[in-house]
Amino acid sequence: MLHLIFAAAMLAPGNYTYNATMNGAKVASSQITVKSSSAGVEIDEKMNGSFQGAASSGSATYVLANDLSPQKYTATGTIGGDTVSDTATVNGDAATISSGQGGSLSFTLSPPATRFVIVDLGSFAGFMPLAAQMNAWNDPKATVLVPVYGIALSIEIAGNTAERPNGVPANDVAIAFGGHAPFTIWYDPSTYVPDEIDIPSQNVIVTRQR
């Protein structure tokens, strides 16, 4: 039981604000609330910004178990003029995702992946616990669910070659991910809260407002 409590405590509860830029221009802002309880962790998000020149806004809720395994994700809002209504549920090695774009789809975890994670387009909630999840699970290979697209992709830890960005605290450490769209998370090792996420292939940088 103690190891489960410790895993949940690795992502520090609190209120956080993140700003995203694309090609140097601000495109979005998210307000994140992380809450922990005996049942696990809940991440609530309110976001607003623009996508391809159109106003976007929405909300998301991401529920995790005590060991930080995903249980349920929901997101609603408008992205670039399109209505978004995404859900994902995970039960062990089985997952179901649903979106207004592609209906409902089921997935089964298969080797070499040993865990599911959820990262959705237009939402930061899925990125928030990734560093804590990878640490709690000893850096496994994972399958990432992307509800808005109705797809599942492989994701795994990659060697980090990025230089420390300007403004990232000196004590932050990096965790880099390979796969379809490589990215790097710089996070506080005492709280596992991300301070910056760099996605070079999209020219996107997400930074925590401090």
pLDDT of residue 127: 97
CA angle (183 as vertex; 142, 152 as ends), nearest 5: 35
Give the residue with greater pLDDT, 38 vs 88.
Answer: 88
- Whether 103 shows a pLDDT value over 90: the answer reads no
pLDDT of residue 102: 65
Q: How confident is the model at residue 84 (pLDDT cuts 50, 70, 90)?
A: confident
User: d(Cα 79, Cα 49) in Å, to the nearest integer?
Assistant: 9
pLDDT of residue 1: 42
Asked if residues 116 and 145 have their Cβ atoms less than 8 Å apart, the reply is yes
Domain interval for residue 81 = 2-208
Q: Can you tell me which residue has the tokens 């080797």?
A: 111
State the DSSP code for 167: T
Number of compact structural domains in the chain: 1
- Whether 124 shows a pLDDT value over 90: the answer reads yes
What percentage of residues in the chain have a pLDDT greater than 70? 93
The stretch 113-134 carries a mean pLDDT of: 94
For the chain, the 3-state helix, strand and coil shares in percent, each to the nearest 5, are 10, 55, 35
pLDDT of residue 50: 81
Among 50-54, 105-109, 121-125, 153-157, the minimum mean pLDDT is found in: 50-54
User: d(Cα 160, Cα 19) in Å, to the nearest integer?
Assistant: 23
Q: For residue range 29-42, what is the model confidence (pLDDT) as tens digits?
A: 999 999 998 889 99
Half-sphere exposure of 193 (CA within 13 A, CB side): 22
- Whether 186 shows a pLDDT value over 90: the answer reads yes
Report the predicted TM-score, pTM, of the whole model to 2 decimal places: 0.91
pLDDT of residue 184: 96
Q: How confident is the model at residue 7 (pLDDT cuts 50, 70, 90)?
A: very low
Rounded to 5 degrees, φ, ψ at 8 are -70, -30
The token pair at 107 is 């997935």
**Residues in the chain, total:** 210
The token pair at 80 is 């670039």
